[in-house]
Structure 1
Amino acid sequence: MNPLLLDIPLQLETERLILRAPHQTGDGEIVYEAIRDSFYELKAWLSLFQETPTVEEAEIMLRNAHINFLKRESFRFLIFDKGGGKDLIGTASLHRIDWDIPKCEMGYWINTKYSGNGYMTEAVKELANFGLNHLAFKRIEIRCESRNFKSRFIPEKLGFILEGTLRNEDLSADGSKLTDTCIYSKIN
């Protein structure tokens, strides 16, 4: 089946969270605020956030994410508290999709003020179940820098298998040194 014909919901829910595709005008401002509030933690691990984007840049990034969602090239979700909080808890996405296998990679980041509450673990669990069960992916990978222990904790807690560590595989977020990448997977 052509992936464009797949019925993909714009929203997923867990016990505490709403995962919503970025399709609303103004999402850029919400994401901008979360990036600004979490900048120093994000800067350490993500090359994308070496500088704080403007509200306009965040809005453009999310509109492109929505286009990619519609094209079935990646599925980014914004994470909110189901209790009605307007703050962004974080984002999680299924990307680098290969529909021939089918498989994907999962990425995520959390607003620093919500870290340590299990929100991202809950969101990643839901998104992995969605990928494996609804989209019938045969493999989901999570890749993270070996020293990013907070990020590594999530796949380990959720039963992903550490397949290996690629040594000197990538550059640090700031581009200053070589880093090792851990590869976790869950298969269907």
Structure 2
Amino acid sequence: MKPILLDVPLQLETDRLFLRAPLQAGDGDVVYEAIRDSINELKQWLSLFQTIPTVEETEIILRNAHIDFLKRESFRYLIFHKDTNEFIGTASLHAINWKVSKCEIGYWINTQFSGKGYMTEAVRELINLGFQQLRFRRIGIRCESTNLSSRSIAEKLGFKLEGTLRNDDLSADGSKLTDICIYSIIM
């Protein structure tokens, strides 16, 4: 089957969260606020957030993510708390290679929700989507070796550290070389 014909759910649900594709006008506002509130943490790890994007730039990022979702090139979900409808963060299946049947997972969280297990819960749901519905055979997580929070999520969910690539990338701010940990889980 061609990937464009795959039925991929626009919304996923866990015990405490719902994840939905960024397809509603105005999503940029709520995501912008989370970026603004979390910029000090985000800029450590994500080159995209070295400065706070405008609401309009954030909306464009999300609309492009929706286009990529429709084209089956990546699947980004916005994460919300079920009970309060508060925006938690984003998580995505990206770097998809349909021929090899693999992808990577990326994520970031609004700082005020860190340490409560929400991202681990959301990533677990994306793993289920990737293996059960999309039939991926490998899911990876790449992160800087010093990003202990991201590494912890991978390890809690049973990902194996395949290795650390020394001086493999630039830090998010582009100021120095950094080591990248490669984690994977296979089916």
Give the alignment's TM-score, normalised by structure 1.
Answer: 0.98
Per-residue CA deviations over 1:17-67 (Å, capped at 9, x if unaligned) read 000000000000111000000000000111000000000000000000000
After the TM superposition, which segments of 4 or more aligned residues of structure 1 sit over 6 Å from their partners?
none
Root-mean-square deviation (CA, aligned residues, Å) is 0.5
Counterpart of 1:10?
10
Counterpart of 1:107?
106
Q: What residue identity is the alignment partner of 2:142?
A: R
Counterpart of 1:45?
45
Give the alignment's TM-score, normalised by structure 2.
Answer: 0.99
Counterpart of 1:74?
74
Counting aligned pairs with the same residue, the percent is 72
Per-residue CA deviations over 1:72-110 (Å, capped at 9, x if unaligned) read 00000000001132x310000000100001100110000
Counterpart of 1:94?
93
Map residues 17-28 of structure 1 onto 2, 5 A cutoff.
17-28=17-28
Find the aligned partners of 1:72 and 1:43 in 2 and give their Cα distance: 28
Find the aligned partners of 1:72 and 1:88 in 2 and give their Cα distance: 24
Counterpart of 2:163?
164
Find the aligned partners of 2:24 and 2:115 in 1 and give their Cα distance: 28
Q: Which runs of 5+ in 1 are unaligned?
A: none
Counterpart of 1:30?
30
Counterpart of 1:145?
144
Secondary structure of 2:130's counterpart equals helix
Find the aligned partners of 2:182 and 2:88 in 1 and give their Cα distance: 25
How many matched pairs?
A: 187
Query: How much does 1:130 deviate?
Result: 0.7
Secondary structure of 2:87's counterpart equals coil
Q: Which runs of 5+ in 2 are unaligned?
A: none
Find the aligned partners of 1:64 and 1:139 in 2 and give their Cα distance: 25
Q: What residue identity is the alignment partner of 1:127?
A: L
Find the aligned partners of 1:84 and 1:145 in 2 and give their Cα distance: 32
Per-residue CA deviations over 1:136-156 (Å, capped at 9, x if unaligned) read 000000000000001100010
Query: How much does 1:187 deviate?
Result: 0.5
Query: How much does 1:129 deviate?
Result: 1.1
